[in-house]
């Protein structure tokens, strides 16, 4: 016959192991997560798992001050998620929007650079204007 | 009586951590942010609440017990609010549903 204390010890160890696995899986989602809301959701889940960890550790050690830590962590996690949601709303564009904007800006800069180079070679053929001025302006447009 | 409380608390610990594991597997496997939210905000909240209830059962003094139950209530109140805010923000900004989604009730109608 197994004693109750042994069962309890095994249950605590099993709970800690399962929580560690789910912690790692959630971290994988945060690292991989294709969009910002995925990562915010992973952070929220991480807070929930940390509260579970705190409860298990509080039971294991009998140190009941950890309950206050769990409540404070829940409050911080809630406020962080709300603030991140406001940030997603105020940023107002998805990762796809940002990527396509960057691509458009890059192609526009390339077109401008090509036009500037053509203008410079044309002026060099005519022999009117020395190169450095045109080179300087095209360099500045590249940075844009 | 004391042994029964210990056994119940051990069972709640294992069940709660199992719920947390299911939530994180859902976070890993589901296709888009809305379905992942469905996994994380329901099963994850359930898991941590069950573990806090296990702490409340295991605690001997009423102070710890009431604080743990207050934590459960607080967590049950805040988790839906935060995930709903996040889902609403993500939808308003324009994160798409996965291609396998069959229904979108918030889609703007043309003939409205």
pLDDT in tens, B79-93: 999 999 999 999 999
CATH no. for residue A17? Answer: 1.10.287
**CB spacing of A55 vs B52 below 8 angstroms:** yes
Q: Is the dihedral of CA B13, B17, B19, B20 positive or negative?
A: positive
Q: Return all residues near B87 (Cβ < 8 A) that are at least 6 apart.
A: B33, B34, B37
**DSSP string over A31-82:** HH-SSHHHHHHHHHHHHHHHHHHHHHHHHHH--TTHHHHHHHHHHHHHHHHH
Residue range B4-46, pLDDT digits in tens: 989 999 999 999 999 999 999 999 999 988 999 999 999 999 9
In 3-state terms, what secondary structure has residue B110?
A: coil
ipTM: 0.89
Are A105 and A82 within one domain? no
Q: What is the pLDDT of residue A140?
A: 44
Q: How many domains does chain B have?
A: 1
Q: Looking at the structure, tell me whether residues A137 and A125 fall in a common domain.
A: yes
Residue A37 lies in domain: 4-92
**pLDDT 10s digits, A100-132:** 889 999 999 999 999 999 998 877 666 555 545
Number of domains into which chain A is organized: 2
Residues A17 and A85 in one domain: yes
Sign of the CA dihedral with B11 first, then B14, B17, and B22 last: negative
Q: Is the pLDDT of residue B47 over 80?
A: yes
What separation, in Å, do the N-terminal and C-terminal C-alpha atoms of chain B show?
63
Instruction: Give B18's contacts in chain A (Cβ within 8 Å).
Output: 18
Does the distance separating the beta carbons of B3 and A91 come in below 8 Å?
no
Min Cα separation A143/chain B (Å) = 29
């Amino acid at each position: 016959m197994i004693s109750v204390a042994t069962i309890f010890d095994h249950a605590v160890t099993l709970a800690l192991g399962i929580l560690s696995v789910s912690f790692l899986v959630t971290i994988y989602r945060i690292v991989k997560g294709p969009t910002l809301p995925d990562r915010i959701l992973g952070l929220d889940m991480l807070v929930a798992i940390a509260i579970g960890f705190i409860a298990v550790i509080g039971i294991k050690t009998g140190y009941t001050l950890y309950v206050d830590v769990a409540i404070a962590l829940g409050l911080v996690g809630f406020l962080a998620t709300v603030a991140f949601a406001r940030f997603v709303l105020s940023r107002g564009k998805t990762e796809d929007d940002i990527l396509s904007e960057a691509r458009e800006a890059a192609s526009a800069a390339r077109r401008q650079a090509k036009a500037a180079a053509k203008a410079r070679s044309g002026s060099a053929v005519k022999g009117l204007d020395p190169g450095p001025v045109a080179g300087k302006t095209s360099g500045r447009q590249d940075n844009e | 009586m004391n042994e029964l409380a210990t056994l119940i608390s051990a069972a709640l610990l294992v069940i709660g951590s199992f719920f947390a594991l299911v939530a994180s597997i859902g976070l890993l496997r589901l296709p888009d942010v809305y379905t992942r939210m469905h996994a994380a905000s329901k099963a994850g909240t359930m898991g941590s609440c069950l573990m806090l209830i296990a702490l409340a059962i295991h605690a001997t003094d009423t102070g710890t017990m009431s604080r743990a139950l207050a934590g459960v209530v607080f967590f049950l109140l805040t988790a839906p609010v935060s995930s709903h805010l996040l889902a609403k923000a993500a939808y308003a900004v324009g994160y798409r549903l996965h291609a396998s989604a069959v229904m979108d009730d918030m889609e703007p109608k043309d003939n409205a």
